[in-house]
């Protein structure tokens, strides 16, 4: 059975990935949707009644969820053609002014869960399959007021690049996606609304476009996707300018 696994599938970019997988990958026989809100997953599955879904309500910050997911794979023994590591969240605020569980929660979901889900899934991925990891433009330079979030996304970008090299002999490709701000639940979860001039002035990316183009690029075995010229330019600045200078602008 050819399967696509999507984490963080219950809203925003993840929900768009569900649409795009259906549209672009007709060979996928079942889509596994992972997030905490089961009712959201089930309503997405119901919207595409002609397709097969498996809805897994898992809190990926809880390591017990990794064992549940592993057992699900062990029982079903699918061919995972596509893994989309999309679940993630951010929190706005200086480290010194926030509670530590908020900060470490980002590390748990954005880094640990992504690493665990990837490692658990690889044995089920055949030659020709692909992994799409959702990072952020926050990985291009340190981001004061979202210091931990930016650091977790640097992890995602760095991990994905090295993983791509490691998986080449197995014929598995890896794409890193770095979206700029998108009008999704992310903004509310991160407590950004009305509290960040940077987020109010930056150009926004459309989740539908990010999902459509990034999935197409993964299929063409590309390495990277950044939406909008503005953020492609920011990526270059992040490579050539001292971060001490960039942080005057990257502060959220």
Ligand X SMILES: NC(=O)c1ccc[n+]([C@@H]2O[C@H](COP(=O)([O-])OP(=O)(O)OC[C@H]3O[C@@H](n4cnc5c(N)ncnc54)[C@H](OP(=O)(O)O)[C@@H]3O)[C@@H](O)[C@H]2O)c1
CB of 109 or CB of 141, closer to ligand X:
109
Choose which of 18, 56, 83, 87 interacts with ligand X (CB under 6 A): 87
> Does 103 interact with ligand X (rule: CB under 6 A)?
no
The H or E element containing residue 212 is: helix 207-219
Whole-angstrom Cα distance, residue 46 to residue 55?
Answer: 11
Stretch that binds ligand X, among 19-27, 42-50, 82-90, 165-173 (CB under 6 A): 82-90
HSE on the CB side for 227, CA within 13 Å? 23
Closest distance of CB 63 from ligand X, Å: 12
Q: Binding string, 135-154, against ligand X, x = CB under 6 A?
A: -x------------------
- Binding positions for ligand X, 194-233, rule CB under 6 A: none
CB of 21 or CB of 58, closer to ligand X:
58
CB of 81 or CB of 252, closer to ligand X:
252
Buried b (16+ CB within 10 A) or exposed e, 129-168: bbbbbbbbbbbbbbbebbbbbbbbbbbbbebbeebbeebe
Choose which of 35, 44, 82, 132 interacts with ligand X (CB under 6 A): 35
Q: Binding string, 40-69, against ligand X, x = CB under 6 A?
A: x-----------------xxxx--------
- DSSP annotation of 126: P
> Does 130 interact with ligand X (rule: CB under 6 A)?
no
Choose which of 184, 198, 206, 222 interacts with ligand X (CB under 6 A): 184
> Does 37 interact with ligand X (rule: CB under 6 A)?
yes
The H or E element containing residue 30 is: strand 30-35
Structure tokens of 208?
Answer: 């539908």
Whole-angstrom Cα distance, residue 190 to residue 163?
Answer: 28
Whole-angstrom Cα distance, residue 232 to residue 141?
Answer: 13
Closest distance of CB 184 from ligand X, Å: 3
> Does 14 interact with ligand X (rule: CB under 6 A)?
yes
Edge to edge, the sheet with strand 30-35 lists 53-57, 30-35, 2-7, 79-85, 130-134, 173-178, 224-226
**Residue 115: burial class (beta carbons within 10 Å; 0-12, 13-18, 19+):** middle
149 is catalytic: yes
Closest distance of CB 179 from ligand X, Å: 4
CB 6 within 8 A of CB 86: yes
Choose which of 55, 163, 179, 215 interacts with ligand X (CB under 6 A): 179
Residues that bind ligand X (CB under 6 A): 8-14, 35-37, 40, 58-61, 86-90, 109, 134, 136, 179, 181-182, 184-186, 189
Residues that are catalytic:
149
């Amino acid at each position: 059975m050819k399967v696509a696994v999507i984490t963080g599938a219950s809203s925003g970019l993840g929900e768009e990935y569900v649409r795009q997988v259906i549209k672009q990958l007709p060979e996928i026989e079942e889509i596994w949707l992972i997030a905490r809100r089961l009712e959201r997953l089930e309503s997405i599955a119901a919207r595409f009644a002609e397709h097969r879904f498996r809805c897994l309500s898992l809190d990926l910050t809880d390591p017990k969820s990794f064992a549940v997911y592993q057992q699900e794979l062990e029982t079903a023994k699918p061919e995972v053609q596509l893994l989309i590591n999309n679940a993630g969240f951010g929190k706005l605020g200086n480290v010194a002014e926030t509670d530590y569980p908020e900060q470490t929660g980002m590390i748990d979901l954005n880094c640990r869960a992504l690493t665990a889900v990837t490692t658990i899934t690889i044995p089920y991925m055949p030659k020709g399959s692909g992994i799409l990891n959702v990072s952020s433009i926050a990985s291009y330079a340190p981001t004061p007021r979202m210091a931990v979030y930016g650091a977790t996304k640097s992890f995602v970008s760095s991990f994905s690049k090295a993983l791509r090299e490691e998986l080449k002999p197995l014929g598995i490709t890896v794409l890193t996606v770095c979206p700029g701000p998108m009008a999704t639940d992310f903004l509310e979860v991160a407590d950004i609304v009305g509290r960040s001039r940077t987020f109010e002035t930056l150009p926004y990316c459309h989740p539908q476009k990010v999902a459509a183009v990034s999935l197409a690029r993964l299929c063409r075995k590309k390495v990277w996707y950044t939406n909008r010229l503005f953020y492609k330019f920011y990526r270059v600045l992040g490579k050539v300018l001292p971060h001490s200078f960039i942080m005057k602008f990257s502060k959220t």
